[in-house]
Amino acid sequence: MHPYEMQRLIRQRHKDEFLDLKPGSLYHAIERLQRADLIEPVETSREGKRPERTVYRLTELGQREVLDWLRELLARPVREKSQFLAAMSHLAHLTPEDARDQLKERANRLEVAMVALDAVLQSLLTRLPRVVFVEAEYARAMLDAERQWVLTVIEDLRAGRLTWNTEALCQFKEMEPPDNART
């Protein structure tokens, strides 16, 4: 395929919702892959006044590399960066009530994201084989698991099973409370 066709296919299959693909980055990636002899041009064509389009394919080395990389990604769990995890590690800087309110907002937004993803999955299910969008199923499952966990924490906060006193924690853990979190 040529890069424009790759981008069109990514959008058509809603893969852009799971990739952090910035405009133009695909072209830079293709240049790097070609320099590394992982892909090679097959043909270059032009339609009318449109720019030339170069079609690429994997080289033998590229095929081996992509399969090795895929096997590695599937088999080995890695700890991925998470802004939410970082925020949860600083939860005690908020009052339990404020934390509960923010987590309620997160649970609502997760629900909205799940509904939107369900619509995407339904549209893909009728047009494509399941293997093409299995990552969307995974993303949906992760959203649901996170939402369920957040709802559990919200309930623990509501019921008083999870509570804290920010000032007392500051004495225990050398942290400075923000002015609005004193309880």
pTM (predicted TM-score): 0.73
Residue 38's pLDDT is 96
Give tens-digit pLDDT for 51-76.
788 888 999 999 999 999 999 999 99
Residue 39's pLDDT is 94
The H helix count followed by the E strand count for the chain is 7, 2
71 by DSSP, 3-state: which?
helix
Residue 99's pLDDT is 97
Residue 61's pLDDT is 97
Consecutive 10-residue averages of pLDDT for the chain (183 residues): 78 76 81 95 86 88 96 93 93 94 98 94 88 90 97 97 84 61 52
Residue 48's pLDDT is 82
CATH of 3-75, one of 1.10.10.10, 3.90.260.10, 3.30.230.10, 2.70.70.10: 1.10.10.10
Residue 13's pLDDT is 77
CB-based burial of residue 40 (10 Å sphere; 0-12 exposed, 13-18 middle, 19+ buried)?
Answer: middle
Q: How far apart are CA 96 and CA 47, in angstroms?
A: 62
Residues 6+ apart with CB under 8 A from 181: 93, 94, 95, 98, 166
Residue 3's pLDDT is 75
